[in-house]
């Protein structure tokens, strides 16, 4: 095996939903893929594989970061194209979960595999060793399990499973490749039935099904209680089964039943009769539009298992239980659940108790240590805390003692005692600063030491670990500036959802001042997503009643009064000033300060780098756009969404789009380039990946897309250091920007008139869209007029204040604050 493992081309065997999506994610990582399936009986023998590719464009969420990446996938078939496998460095089998089908395929492809290529199975639970025994002897050491979770682009977990002959060197190389190139969290699983995540996650579902029946909890109430309120995905239990597919879940359960006959919980490895009936009737869940839930018109109906019919899903959990679940202290929450005698409380305690019991008993069988089990469940099923993390947070001995009492009294699903290591007097849990507990070693083991993990300066933290984000340089109520001993400080926001308000803007300005005087650069990074959900709307609304008099407001007012032109031929600024005097000056303060902050990010004496993941909306997007460089995780969702709440981008975003349109035009007609940016802003479009953000223009071609979000800070620091070491030169503001002026405004207005006459937009949508057009076109001036950045920024401020003075805009903001949803008025 060579020192480096490079995948220049991959092959995926099986073009079903899973195989095609794995292929799509390789393409997201810019790795070409040969996608194989059975030969078609039609003229085009590759039609089955092509259909799998075509389905990718219809799936939601989208498997492809940008649609054009589909061109990296080549459809092929097993009859005529097997010789093409020799081109591939990595081959992943993703066909039906049947041992005979997989073995038959391996026998067919083995002669065509390159002598140095790796063959892997994406099986969700079949034995890797059994599969390897039928391979040629020279291929066995290059065979392993690489188990992706569905959907492969979005689910962070990949389980890596060796066979008896797989060398450690190969596993290390695969783990490094999967971590950085595909952006995954890799857990090495033992070759046991369903490996780690499915073994634990599916048991949790089975225990929930059993206890829901025992305590007579309606399905929709189960989902209310077992979703976000206990740190699990919104889809909870029954909706998750629909999403996964009832037939898929049934297959995994059958694998457990068939391969784990000696498991003390074996009696519960079965699904209820109503579940089997749904499968027989073709009601398989989301993929058939009918499963445990069914959408009829706008109404969501749920199965009544006693009658087999669907009914309205209108039953609610009790307010008393919901109040208990608001308690964030797991020690008191579990204590209250154990003391409560209601069926819902007993149900919640029982599903946790039996899950903890199962995990403790089987830890040594399925995983090397408790960290691997917890991370596998978190990353594979989307839980905020793994089972052991929850147990430890709730008080290790208090929970263990309560569990053992109920085991002894026959209340648990299995009567086996807890392992001795659980009850050790000195044990406070399984996670600590030293590492996580490994039963075979009776010791706490640290995280893996592969070189690839040096790129994760702050890996996904575990309960029990002490994470210190550097030494504080400066801090206020909105931000913290900190460093780790190097010359590249990090600015992190402290506000909820990292929204940008007055205190954050003050912090940005102060941080830049400090960084310019003491450091080489500045990184803007949040330890947890999102990057920023935008401006602090609550502060904006409160600012409508703030007193007049601040220096920034007076400066902004003076700038506005110097403007002699109107917006879109309608209204004048003096009326706006009169309307907001006495009620809006603090808002103008914040706008002026926002523009000052983004301007300082752009024109500081040091390089500024934004490290972005998750949402970067509105003001958050504007901060990213003004940094010298952005390093964005693939799963970054970025956009100027101000139109959705009735205003326009006024933190430099509109100005920036006008400049980018001019730069993109390269001396040609600016309007077609401007029109594209204008539509993004006027429709509040959000890029659905960092790659799409580059395609749309929110990110620049020079910005970096990182597949693994935990590598963001490492790469951002490398970019900032590179800029500094190259002799960073402070950019100069643009002073001669040609704008399209009234001609562009007129063209956009004609388009919008047609939309409003066709009832595609409301009257207020029209007003907002025209304000945005006025700013991005440069105002009521002749086409080709040269303006500077301050001119465009003044237009931003003016347009924002005009819109904010309107009752319909205020209604939109208030509705968003109350409901989290946009109002169309």
Q: What is the pLDDT of residues 724-750, one digit of tens each?
A: 999 999 999 999 999 999 999 999 999
User: Are 631 and 712 in contact, with CB atoms under 8 Å apart?
Assistant: yes
Q: Are residue 53 and residue 74 in the same domain, yes or no? A: yes
**Residues paired with 294 in a beta bridge:** 290, 301
Of 20, 92, 86, 8, nearest in space to 59 by CA = 20
Q: Read off the pLDDT of residues 683-720 as tens digits, 9 standing for 90 and up.
A: 999 999 999 999 999 999 999 999 999 999 999 999 99
Q: What is the DSSP letter of 500?
A: B
Specify if 617 maps to a domain: yes
pLDDT of res. 578: 42
Strands (E), 561-673: 608-617, 629-639
260-268 — which CB contacts under 8 Å span 24+ positions?
260/193, 264/361, 264/414, 264/415, 264/416, 265/203, 265/358, 265/413, 265/414, 268/206, 268/207, 268/210, 268/413
Q: Which domain holds residue 520?
A: 470-546+583-641+686-731
Task: Please report, for the domain that includes residue 299, its CATH number.
Answer: 1.10.1040.50
Question: How far is residue 531's CA from residue 787's CA, in Å, rounded to a whole number?
Answer: 32
Q: Classify 210 as helix, strand or coil.
A: helix
137 Cβ partners below 8 Å, 6+ apart? none
Q: Are residue 123 and residue 150 in the same domain, yes or no? A: yes
Q: Are residue 110 and residue 205 in the same domain, yes or no? A: no
Of 521, 535, 549, nearest in space to 648 by CA = 535
pLDDT confidence band for 812 (50 / 70 / 90): very high
Of 186, 187, 183, nearest in space to 711 by CA = 183
Q: Read off the pLDDT of residues 563-581 as tens digits, 9 standing for 90 and up.
A: 333 333 333 434 433 443 3
Q: Read off the pLDDT of residues 426-472 as tens digits, 9 standing for 90 and up.
A: 899 999 999 999 999 999 999 998 999 999 999 999 999 989 999 99
Pairing of strands 309-312, 786-787: unpaired
Specify if 29 maps to a domain: yes
Average pLDDT over residues 39-62: 93
Q: Are residue 163 and residue 100 in the same domain, yes or no? A: yes
Q: Are residue 147 and residue 267 in the same domain, yes or no? A: no
Boundary of a domain, candidates 188, 219, 241: 188
Peptide bond into 815 cis (omega under 30): no
pLDDT of res. 545: 58
Q: Are residue 155 and residue 271 in the same domain, yes or no? A: no
pLDDT confidence band for 549 (50 / 70 / 90): very low
Dmax (CA) of the chain: 86
Specify if 53 maps to a domain: yes
Q: Are residue 416 and residue 487 in the same domain, yes or no? A: no
Q: Read off the pLDDT of residues 372-400 as tens digits, 9 standing for 90 and up.
A: 999 999 999 999 999 999 999 999 999 99
Backbone φ, ψ for residue 320 (5° rounding): -65, -40
Specify if 282 maps to a domain: yes
Q: What value does the mean pLDDT of the chain take?
A: 93
Q: Are residue 693 and residue 776 in the same domain, yes or no? A: no
Q: Classify 186 as helix, strand or coil.
A: strand
Question: How far is residue 103's CA from residue 98's CA, in Å, rounded to a whole number?
Answer: 9
Q: Are residue 413 and residue 524 in the same domain, yes or no? A: no
How much of the chain, in percent, has pLDDT values that exceed 70? 94
Specify if 465 maps to a domain: no
User: Are 651 and 598 in contact, with CB atoms under 8 Å apart?
Assistant: yes
Boundary of a domain, candidates 153, 188, 223: 188
Q: Are residue 739 and residue 597 in the same domain, yes or no? A: no
Q: CA angle, 276 as apex, 272 and 281 as ends, to 5°?
A: 145
Q: Are residue 726 and residue 610 in the same domain, yes or no? A: yes
Residues composing the chain: 825
Structure tokens at 290: 């009918």
**Residues paired with 444 in a beta bridge:** 437
Provide the domain count of the chain: 4
Task: Please report, for the domain that includes residue 598, its CATH number.
Answer: 3.90.226.10
pLDDT of res. 589: 82
Q: Are residue 243 and residue 338 in the same domain, yes or no? A: yes
Question: How far is residue 96's CA from residue 741's CA, in Å, rounded to a whole number?
Answer: 60
Question: How far is residue 676's CA from residue 660's CA, in Å, rounded to a whole number?
Answer: 11
Structure tokens at 433: 């600063």
Boundary of a domain, candidates 133, 161, 188: 188
Average pLDDT over residues 411-418: 96
pLDDT at 555 over 50: no
Helix ranges, 605-740 (H):
619-626, 653-665, 671-682, 690-696, 712-725
Specify if 570 maps to a domain: no
pLDDT of res. 540: 82
Structure tokens at 69: 């990446």
**Is 124 buried (19+), middle (13-18) or exposed (0-12) by CB count in 10 A?**
buried
Among 232-236, 295-299, 369-373, 518-522, name the one with the lowest average pLDDT.
295-299
Q: Classify 497 as helix, strand or coil.
A: helix
Specify if 347 maps to a domain: yes
pLDDT of res. 544: 67
Task: Please report, for the domain that includes residue 107, its CATH number.
Answer: 3.40.50.720
pLDDT at 584 over 90: no
How much of the chain, in percent, has pLDDT values that exceed 90? 89
Give the side-chain half-sphere CA count within 13 A for 162: 16
Specify if 4 maps to a domain: no
Question: How far is residue 291's CA from residue 278's CA, in Å, rounded to a whole number?
Answer: 7
pLDDT of res. 537: 87
pLDDT of res. 574: 40
Backbone φ, ψ for residue 143 (5° rounding): -120, 140
pLDDT of res. 542: 77
pLDDT at 653 over 60: yes
Question: How far is residue 280's CA from residue 288's CA, in Å, rounded to a whole number?
Answer: 13
pLDDT confidence band for 823 (50 / 70 / 90): very high
């Amino acid at each position: 095996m060579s020192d480096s493992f490079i995948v220049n081309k991959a092959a995926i065997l099986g073009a079903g939903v899973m195989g095609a999506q794995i292929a799509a994610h390789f393409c997201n990582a810019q790795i070409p893929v040969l996608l194989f399936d059975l030969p078609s009986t039609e003229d085009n023998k590759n039609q089955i594989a092509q259909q799998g590719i075509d389905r990718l464009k219809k799936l939601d969420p989208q498997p492809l970061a940008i649609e054009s990446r589909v061109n990296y996938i080549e459809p092929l078939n097993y009859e005529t194209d097997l010789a093409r496998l020799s081109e591939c460095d990595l081959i992943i089998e993703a066909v039906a979960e049947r041992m005979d089908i997989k073995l038959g395929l391996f026998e067919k492809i083995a002669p065509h595999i390159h002598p140095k290529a790796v063959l892997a199975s994406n099986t969700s639970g079949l034995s890797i060793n059994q599969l390897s025994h039928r391979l040629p002897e020279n291929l066995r050491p290059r065979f392993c399990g690489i188990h992706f979770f569905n959907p492969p682009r979005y689910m962070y977990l990949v389980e890596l499973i060796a066979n008896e002959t797989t060398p450690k060197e190969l596993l290390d190389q695969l783990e490094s490749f999967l971590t950085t190139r595909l952006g995954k969290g890799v857990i090495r699983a033992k070759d046991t039935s369903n490996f780690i995540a499915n073994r634990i996650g599916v048991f949790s579902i089975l225990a929930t099904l059993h206890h829901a029946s025992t305590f007579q909890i309606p399905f929709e109430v189960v989902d209310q209680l077992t979703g976000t309120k206990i740190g699990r995905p919104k889809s909870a239990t029954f909706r998750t089964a629909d999403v996964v597919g009832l037939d898929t879940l049934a297959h995994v359960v059958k694998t457990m039943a068939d391969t784990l006959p000696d498991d003390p919980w074996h009696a519960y490895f079965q699904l209820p009769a109503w579940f089997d009936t749904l499968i027989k009737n073709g009601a398989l869940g989301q993929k058939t539009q009918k499963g445990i839930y069914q959408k009829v018109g706008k109404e969501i109906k749920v199965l009544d298992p006693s009658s087999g019919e669907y009914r309205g899903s209108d039953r609610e959990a009790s307010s008393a239980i919901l109040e208990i679940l608001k308690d964030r202290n797991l020690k008191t929450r579990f204590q209250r659940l154990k003391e409560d005698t209601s069926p819902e409380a007993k149900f919640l305690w029982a599903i946790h108790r039996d899950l903890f019991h199962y995990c403790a008993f089987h830890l040594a069988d399925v995983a090397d240590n408790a960290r691997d089990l917890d991370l596998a469940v978190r990353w594979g099923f989307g839980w905020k805390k793994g089972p052991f993390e929850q147990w430890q947070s709730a008080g290790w001995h208090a929970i263990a003692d309560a569990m053992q009492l109920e085991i002894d009294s026959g209340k648990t699903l299995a009567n086996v005692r807890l392992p001795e290591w659980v009850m050790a007097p000195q044990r406070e849990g399984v996670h600590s600063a030293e590492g996580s507990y490994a039963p075979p070693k009776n010791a706490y083991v640290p995280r893996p030491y592969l070189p690839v993990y040096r790129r994760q300066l702050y890996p996904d933290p575990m309960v029990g670990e002490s994470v210190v984000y550097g030494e504080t340089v400066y801090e206020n109520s909105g931000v913290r500036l900190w460093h780790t001993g190097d010359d590249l400080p990090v600015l992190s926001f402290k506000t909820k959802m990292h929204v940008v308000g007055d205190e954050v803007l003050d912090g940005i300005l102060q941080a830049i001042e400090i960084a310019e005087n003491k450091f080489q650069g500045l990184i803007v990074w949040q330890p947890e997503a999102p990057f920023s959900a935008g401006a602090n709307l609550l502060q904006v609304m409160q600012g409508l009643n703030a007193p007049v008099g601040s220096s920034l407001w007076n400066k902004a007012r003076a700038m506005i009064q110097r403007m002699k032109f109107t917006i879109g031929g309608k209204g004048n600024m003096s009326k706006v000033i009169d309307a907001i005097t006495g009620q809006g000056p603090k808002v103008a303060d914040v706008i002026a300060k926002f523009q000052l902050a983004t301007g300082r990010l752009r024109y500081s004496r040091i390089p500024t780098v934004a490290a972005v993941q998750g949402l970067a909306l509105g003001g958050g997007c504007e901060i990213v756009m003004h940094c010298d460089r952005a390093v964005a995780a693939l799963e970054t969702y970025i956009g100027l969404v101000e139109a959705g709440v009735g205003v326009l981008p006024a933190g430099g975003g509109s100005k920036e789009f006008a400049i980018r349109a001019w730069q993109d035009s390269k001396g040609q007609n600016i309007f077609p380039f401007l029109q594209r940016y204008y539509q993004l802003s006027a429709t509040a479009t959000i890029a659905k990946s960092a790659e799409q953000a580059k395609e749309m223009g929110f990110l620049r071609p020079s910005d970096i897309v990182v597949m693994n979000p935990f590598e963001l800070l490492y790469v951002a620091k490398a970019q900032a250091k590179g800029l500094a070491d190259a002799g960073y030169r402070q950019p100069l503001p643009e002073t001669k920007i040609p704008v399209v002026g009234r001609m562009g405004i007129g063209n956009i207005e004609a388009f919008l008139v047609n939309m409003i006459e066709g009832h595609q937009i409301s009257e207020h949508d029209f007003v907002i869209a025209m304000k945005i057009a006025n700013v991005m076109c440069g105002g009521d001036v002749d086409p080709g007029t040269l303006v500077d950045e301050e001119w465009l920024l003044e237009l931003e401020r003016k347009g924002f204040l005009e819109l904010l003075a309107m009752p319909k805009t205020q209604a939109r903001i208030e509705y968003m604050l109350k409901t989290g949803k946009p109002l169309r008025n």
